[in-house]
Amino acid sequence: MSAPHPLEAGLRQGLQTLALALSDAQVHTLLAYVDWVAKWNKVYNLTAVRNPQEMLTHHLLDSLAVVAPLQRQLAAVGKAAGATLLDVGSGAGLPGVVVAIACPQVRVSCVDTVAKKALFIQQVAAALRLPNLQGIHARVENLTQTFDVVSSRAFASLVDFTAWSRQALAPDGIWLAMKGKVPHDEVQALPPTVQVFHVEHLTVPGLDAERCVLWLRPAP
């Protein structure tokens, strides 16, 4: 019998704190994903975080903290199943890959302008058998497909994020922006065509830092 993954106990404790009920298979897939990031990081510099414990808190649990809010928003608009999500400037796949693993009913596309990062997502999708995940090498403003949710994690200012991805948002779609502290200046700078309709403060297990998610949509 193989030894447990060194991050497994911490991940399971974090999931319990977040009240996220994932299967053993999903837990092991998340751990396999972290191993893939660590392996590719040696060559491709996917993320500045190298320490395994920091990968757990800063990457996995930080991304998992948005899963329940995402599920609530999708349920509220009648998209609990079959929703599409575009993760912009996804890099190593955060939070896109984590969402794809935790929410198999959501079809996740991770777009990045760096070819090797999009290739990494494709490799992860194949290796971890995630049919609901794909990597796209493109600029988000050049995409023609539209998505129910367009997400970003520390990608750009709210003004730039919403402007660049506007045409990728479905007619009744919403934006999901993961931030540290609530960026009041960025909210104030938004044009009248974009409205913030909900702000949620997130508590990330093991991470002593402010985190929040802003939900935005085109103004009616």
Least confident of 74-78, 84-88, 172-176: 74-78
Q: How many helices (H) and strands (E) does the chain have?
A: 9, 7
pLDDT tens digits, one per residue of 23-54: 999 999 999 999 999 888 877 766 766 777 77
Rounded CA-CA distance 41/15 in Å is 25
pLDDT at residue 149 tops 70 = yes
Task: Return the structure tokens found at 213.
Answer: 């998610």
pLDDT at residue 144 tops 60 = yes
Burial of residue 134, with CB atoms counted within 10 A of its CB: 0-12 exposed, 13-18 middle, 19 or more buried: middle
What is the reported pLDDT for 49?
Answer: 67
What is the reported pLDDT for 16?
Answer: 96
So where are the chain's domains? Answer: 8-218
Rounded CA-CA distance 169/109 in Å is 13
What is the reported pLDDT for 77?
Answer: 84
CATH number given to 8-218: 3.40.50.150
What is the reported pLDDT for 1?
Answer: 57
User: At residue 66, what are phi and psi to the nearest 5 degrees?
Assistant: -95, -5
User: At residue 136, what are phi and psi to the nearest 5 degrees?
Assistant: -125, 125
pLDDT > 90 in the chain, percent = 79
Residues whose CB is less than 8 angstroms from the CB of residue 32 and which lie 6 or more positions away in sequence, other chains included: 127, 128
- In the structure, what pLDDT confidence band is assigned to residue 110 with cuts at 50, 70 and 90? very high
pLDDT tens digits, one per residue of 7-18: 999 999 999 999
Q: What is the CA radius of gyration of the chain?
A: 16
Residue 108 CA to its chain's centroid (Å): 9
Burial of residue 196, with CB atoms counted within 10 A of its CB: 0-12 exposed, 13-18 middle, 19 or more buried: middle
Up-side HSE of residue 109: CA atoms within 13 Å toward CB? 19
- In the structure, what pLDDT confidence band is assigned to residue 107 with cuts at 50, 70 and 90? very high
pTM of the model as a whole: 0.94
Residue 120 · residue 44 · CB < 8 Å: yes
How high is the mean pLDDT of the chain? 93
pLDDT at residue 66 tops 90 = yes
For 6: left if phi > 0, alpha if psi spans -120 to 50, otherwise beta; the answer is alpha
- In the structure, what pLDDT confidence band is assigned to residue 78 with cuts at 50, 70 and 90? confident
Q: Tell me what the mean pLDDT of segment 157-174 comes to.
A: 96
Task: Tell me how far CA of residue 47 lies from CA of 34, 97, 128, 194, in angstroms.
Answer: 11, 14, 20, 31
- In the structure, what pLDDT confidence band is assigned to residue 126 with cuts at 50, 70 and 90? very high
Q: Tell me what the mean pLDDT of segment 205-210 comes to.
A: 89
**Residue 152, beta-bridge partner list:** 88, 177
- In the structure, what pLDDT confidence band is assigned to residue 154 with cuts at 50, 70 and 90? confident
Q: Tell me what the mean pLDDT of segment 154-163 comes to.
A: 93
Q: Tell me what the mean pLDDT of segment 164-191 comes to.
A: 96
Rounded CA-CA distance 27/11 in Å is 8
Strands (E) across the chain are located at 84-88, 107-112, 133-137, 147-153, 169-179, 194-202, 211-218
